[in-house]
């Protein structure tokens, strides 16, 4: 988006994504921008099945967002990966697992697969 519409349009899209994410999680959850167009979420007390379902719902919520920009409607999309964090897990490896899952999801979306994230391979 930045290359086509400029950085201000990219910022507007990031703002729309952040609003969708924050409006789709509980008050006890955390949404943070990690950098660029990447966001991290901490969703408390979810089973793996519930986390997968929430991931699917978040992708759908973000994909419903549009941003009006200089007479054009810009579509928004997201590929989301997740990893289950246990009490003894270190954060960096878990972020790497979630990142790997996100890239698997992105590849699936690029190939137009509509497989819910719960059915995509998860590296543990």
Q: Which residues pair with 122 in a beta bridge?
A: none
Of residues 56, 18, 19, the one with CA closest to residue 37: 18
Which residue in the list 37, 50, 89, 99 is annotated as catalytic?
37
Using a 10 angstrom Cβ sphere, with 0-12 exposed, 13-18 middle and 19 or more buried, the burial of residue 112 is exposed
Residue 89 annotated among the catalytic residues of the structure: no
Q: Show pLDDT as tens, one digit a residue, over the chain (124 residues).
A: 888 889 999 999 999 999 999 999 999 998 888 888 888 888 888 999 999 899 889 989 998 888 999 999 998 888 888 889 888 999 899 889 988 888 888 888 777 655 555 554 444 4
CA distance linking residue 51 with residue 53, whole number of Å = 5
């Amino acid at each position: 988006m930045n290359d086509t519409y400029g950085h201000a349009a990219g910022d507007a899209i990031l703002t729309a994504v952040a609003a969708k994410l924050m409006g789709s999680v509980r008050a006890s959850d955390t949404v943070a921008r990690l950098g660029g167009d990447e966001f991290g979420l901490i969703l408390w007390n979810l089973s793996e099945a519930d986390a997968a379902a929430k991931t699917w719902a978040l992708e759908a919520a973000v994909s419903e967002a549009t941003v009006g920009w200089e007479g054009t409607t810009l579509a928004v999309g997201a590929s989301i990966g997740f990893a289950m964090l246990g009490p003894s897990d270190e954060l960096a490896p878990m972020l790497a697992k979630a990142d790997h899952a996100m890239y698997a999801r992105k590849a699936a979306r690029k190939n137009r697969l509509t497989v819910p994230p719960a059915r995509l391979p998860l590296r543990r």
